[in-house]
Chain A
Amino acid sequence: MGESVQWIKHIELYVSSTATPSEQAASVDAVATLLKKGFFTLETLVKEMEMYLTTTDSIVRSRGNLLLAELLDKLASKPLSSSSIHSLVGFFTERLADWKALRGAIVGCLALLRRKVDVGNVTNSDAKAVAESFLQNLQVQSLGQHDRKLSFQLLECLLNHYPGAIGDLGDNLVYGICEAVDGEKDPECLLLVFQIVECLGQIYPDPSGPLANYAEDMFEILGSYFPIHFTHPKGEVDDSKREELSRALMLAFASTPLFEPFSIPLLLEKLSSSLPSAKVESFKYLSYCTAKYGPERMASHAEVLWSSVKEATYISPQCTLTKESELLGGMGFQDSEVMKQSFILLQEVIQQYGDFISLVLGDNDINVFINSLNQYKEMDDIPSLAKQRLHVVGHILSTCAKPSPALCNKVFNSFFPLLMESLGISVEKSFNGYLDEDCSPPAEFNFAAIYLCIELLAACRYVAVSLDSSTPALEFSHQTWSTMLSNSCKSLVKTFFSLLRSMEADQSASSGVYFGVKGLEILATFPESFLPASNSLYENILSEFVRTVTSGSTETFLWTLTLKALTEIGLFANKHPESAKAVIFEKIVVEKFVSLIPSGESAMPSSLKLKAAFEIGGTKKDFMLKVVHALSAAIYTNFSAAYDEGNHESGKVMIQLLDTYTEKVLPWFLKIGGFEEIPLNFALGIWEKIEHTKYLNLSVLEIAMGAGYQDLLGAIMSAIKKSVGSCSNESQEIIINKAFGVLSSSTGFGFESGSSLVKEEDVKQNLNPGDSSCKHEWLTSLFASVIIALRPQTSIPNGKMIIQLFIKSLLNGHVPSAHALGSLVNKLPLEIKGMNCSGNLTLNKALDMITPTFTGISHHDNVSQSNGSGIDFSSLRLNTLRMQSGINTAIGLAWIGKGLLMRGHEKVKDITMALLSLLMLDCEGGDSKELQIIDEEDMHQLRKTAADAFHIILSDSGECLSRAYHATIRPLYKQRFFSTIMPIFLSLVIKSDALLVSPTYTSRSMLYRAFAHVVSDTPVIAVLAESKKIVPILLDCLSVLSKDVANKEIIYNVLLVISGILVEKNGQEAAVENAPIIINLLIDLTTYQHMMAIRETAIQCLVAMTELPYTRIYPLRTKVLQATSKALDDPKRIVRQEAVRCRQSWASIASRTLRF
């Protein structure tokens, strides 16, 4: 009983007019939940609510009705007995007459009608009663927007769910609907209206049924909405809505052929509208309606349709030449939307109604136009309008020919002989099967005819291909077009050949070349079952193409186009790998190009040879495998020739071979996947070669090749890196074992002696310049490239020895060793799980080996803590040789530090400290007497290297430690480094400010140099957060650095950071405090002679400064204006323009007192 009281309260709350909408919604939910759980039945509810449902107070009554209706809506999935549904629907049907409480009645009917069969739904007779009551009682157009929408929903629901039941209403229903929708303007309601009309069309398809009687009236209502156009646009939502409405209206238009007598004239009439959008819409509707109304009805409109399509395309073509037009024989056009839609209509009509084609083919204008083409001898002679028409005619003909072989026949019959005639070719079958061999092609070509001819060929190729795929054993010979084509095929090929040959000397992108290649390509890609393009002809075409490609000496238009055509033909032939054409292609094309790779005889430059081989290989996996084998074989041969015999020509060829291998072939295999043995075999093959090369005449080769020697080494290194990088763990282990084997068997590496640690003497010994042989360095470089590309999981044998090797060569100034060490510390595991892997290296062991070596030379790790009390400079200042090793150490520290930083290891801090101490060396040494002994020049070099080390640490490198080489990269490592090092820098800067005496000057400038590197390599977001502290130092930094011209790149980077700060709100606050200093600095930089970008950016920064608070910048205004007037005379135009912009914005911040 308590519960019943509770839900009655909810009802009272809902009905009362004081409740808010959210309270009402809550009470509906509450009652619905109780009903669903079965605390009481619907009958009880109706009985309790009786008073609210029938009271004479219309407000309460309407709320009561609505409550019941909304409850029913919520209970859509609760099964109800048929009797209660019947009585409820009866009640609501009756209520439809009660206009004061209408909404509840409509919502109730809708809720009941939408019920599914399995939970009990409304019977057909009840539905019919609802419809009758609706038609009798509702004046839809007199209702409000929401009620109208509900009414239309009710109608749509009736039509969709009970078409059989309300179909009997006939005229009454159609008339009622006409009445209800007439004059509707709301877009949401209109969408429903269009759907209702579409349903009506499906219910009454009978041409003498009720809809037929009212079709004209109905269409009068509908037609007034076309084209959909909002008179009061309300924002960007309209566009999608317009699309949706327009589509719904189109479906309504096409819903029944009964509309045809009214809709087609309307649409045709709208085609003459001046609005392009109306034209586009009309064409769209016409295409859709054509498909729906069927050919019988459309036949009567055929002539008008053709003339409207012709009007929109041929008479007044609206197409523009595209940018690539030059490359498409000067005939690349971008059609306007109207033209696109009219071509679609043409296609639709032709497909539906084949007789339409006689209109097109019989069109006098087009025939006259084609006959007139003979007057143009060159593509460029054709005027623009005629060119557009040519494009249109080509498109129309190919649209006509494409749908079926029969249509293709007709088009060929009408035009092909004509076109051939203007090319001097006969289509008649001469008695011996082909044309007179002596008949030489004309010296001049009718380009327009060639263009149309190619369009036709493309269309009939399309027909042939679609026939070929549907019916395999089709007889092509019965078709007229096929006969015609086979009669003229040979002569056509001849014409194209002579076209190509006449253009061969021409370097530029001429249309003759394009058409010739295109025509041959089409002829070569006819399906095999199609006779005209017989195998001998196919062979001829291929040989001609191959001849063109192989005789090319530069990458001309003809060359690229021919190669492209060859690849297309290859792709087509390989669709049927067993076919004769594929075999011929492989025999003539692939083998030819593969054989070209190693030989040096052909006239072709090797870069072209390689490009052609790669493109052709790309048409099939097997072909690419052949290319790879030829390529690797060529690399190995040249390797021996270059390194054994010191042949520098082979060296140059090898660079190109290796580049093709790393840049093209290897990525191609990686993309398709599953070819791991290729990089593995390649890397092993290279090491094999190294092992068996007897002399390794490095110095001879170096002299012979000059600068190219380093390029060759670089090419081999990157080829090794790339191929090792793309191998799996297991393959990498094979490669590293092989490489290590080669290394340890060659002399001079000290592996045999098994020395445990690098000793001071070793280092000294190796530092002697004559001692380190070229070969040693060369081998180490190659070995380093293997190490750089290893995956973290790959286990490395003899790790200790490898590290010693790299440390030693690093101290000799070998940079790739530094890369390798960096990669090692980046990837070595922290600890090794498992038993018998004592030979394997962990990170800590490696660091234990590395750290003492480096701190042995720069043992100032603890400098900053102990503050110079016990520094032993003696070891550093023995001689200049030591200084050199210090520089090498700094480079090594940089790469090792980078490796550690990227994996987020804490030891990076020690390395940073070591670098900083190198940077600050003499300012701690104070007045030590030894200071003078050191060569100041060397000292400077050392500090500079240490400063640049920070750039190495923070910048991205292509050499190593990148994703391609499997580096461990922690997210945000740059930001983290920035935030740890910034306080250290700040304190160092303050300290060096205190010692502002001349000897410390260089170290201070180097400190700023390092600082500039760090700031400009860190993402700006991180810098912004600290901008308050950084801005003053950045400014000092700029003023110090700008004293040396060599720093211009760094200055530019710092300036970019400053401009980044100036445009951010956070940064502006920091800039406000230093405004005068910043402006003075920027003004100085606006006249920086050595780099234009600096001047430009400085002026842009000045513009950004005007965003600062008025009071702060106003005093500086005159100064800026004076300074920028000099920039107005800058030699570079960009700077002058920026200066004008700058003066404009500074002048206008206070124009009241303009002073110049």
Chain B
Amino acid sequence: MLLQHIRDIKDPEHPYSLEELKVITEDAIEVDDKRSYVRVTFTPTVEHCSMATVIGLCLRIKLMRSLPPRYKVDIRVAPGSHASEASVNKQLNDKERVAAALENPNLVDMVDECLAPSLL
């Protein structure tokens, strides 16, 4: 169900969707409806992918728009798939930092581009 919402997000560097690139898969999404908790684990394409944070940000924003506010969304990089795993995880789940990132017009433009509905 949840995959419906995020499968079409485009990679910031390629014209492919995250699903096509196998960045996210169905197994990587956990939903606990009773406790209103969602955890998405994504796998960046290469270990030192510089776009990992942007992908994470896209996921977060898309889910913020698509899920009722009661949900707590936790976004993580798959263990062992990224060079600086801990710092990326920290960045993505820090409210302040996400808010700060959204103040950055360049970043927001990039996110918006990724989220634009594809024609396919």
Which residues of A come within 8 Å of B, CB atoms?
Answer: 1125-1126, 1128-1129, 1137, 1140, 1143-1144, 1147-1148, 1151-1152, 1154, 1156
Contact = CB atoms under 8 A, between A and B. Distances in A.
B108 A1140 contact: no
A1137 B4 CA distance: 9
Contact of A1152 (B5, B68, B105): B105
Interface string B25-57: 000000000000000000000000000000000
A84 to B, nearest CB: 67
Contact of B70 (A1129, A1137, A1144, A1152): A1129
Contacts of B86: none
Contact of B66 (A1126, A1143, A1148, A1154): A1143
Given A1125-B68, A1129-B68, A1144 B115 contact: yes
B117 A1144 contact: yes
Given A1144-B115, A1144-B117, A1152 B108 contact: yes
Contact of A1140 (B61, B65, B105): B65
A1156 B65 CA distance: 8
Interface of B: 4-5, 61, 64-70, 102, 105, 108-109, 111-112, 115-117
Nearest to B117: A1144
A1143 B65 CA distance: 6
Contact of A1147 (B65, B70, B105, B117): B65
Contacts of B68: 1125-1126, 1128-1129
Contacts of A1126: 68
A1154 B57 CA distance: 13
A1156 B64 contact: yes
Nearest to B112: A1151
Nearest to A1143: B65
A1147 B5 CA distance: 15
Nearest to A1128: B68
B1 to A, nearest CB: 8
What 8 A-B pairs have minimum CB-CB distances, sorted nearest first? A1129-B68, A1128-B68, A1140-B66, A1143-B65, A1151-B112, A1154-B102, A1151-B108, A1156-B64
> Is chain B's interface secondary structure helix, strand, loop, or mixed overall?
helix
Contacts of B67: 1128
Nearest to A1124: B65
B78 to A, nearest CB: 25
B115 A1148 contact: yes
Contacts of B105: 1152
Interface majority SS (helix, strand, loop, mixed), chain A:
helix
A151 to B, nearest CB: 47
Given A1144-B115, A1152-B108, A1154-B61, A1125 B69 contact: yes
A1151 B105 CA distance: 9
A332 B66 CA distance: 43
A1154 B61 CA distance: 10
A1144 B64 CA distance: 10
Given A1144-B66, A1156-B64, 13 more contacts: A1125-B69, A1126-B68, A1128-B66, A1128-B68, A1129-B68, A1137-B4, A1143-B65, A1144-B65, A1147-B65, A1148-B112, A1151-B112, A1152-B105, A1154-B102
Contacts of A1128: 66-68
Contacts of B61: 1154
25 contacts: A1125-B68, A1125-B69, A1126-B68, A1128-B66, A1128-B67, A1129-B68, A1129-B70, A1137-B4, A1140-B66, A1143-B65, A1143-B66, A1144-B65, A1144-B66, A1144-B115, A1147-B65, A1148-B115, A1148-B116, A1151-B108, A1151-B111, A1151-B112, A1152-B105, A1152-B108, A1154-B102, A1154-B108, A1156-B65
- Among B61, B65, B70, B117, max chain A CB count under 10 A is at B65
A1140 B115 contact: no
Nearest to B116: A1148
A382 to B, nearest CB: 33
A1154 B115 CA distance: 14
B116 to A, nearest CB: 8
A1150 to B, nearest CB: 10
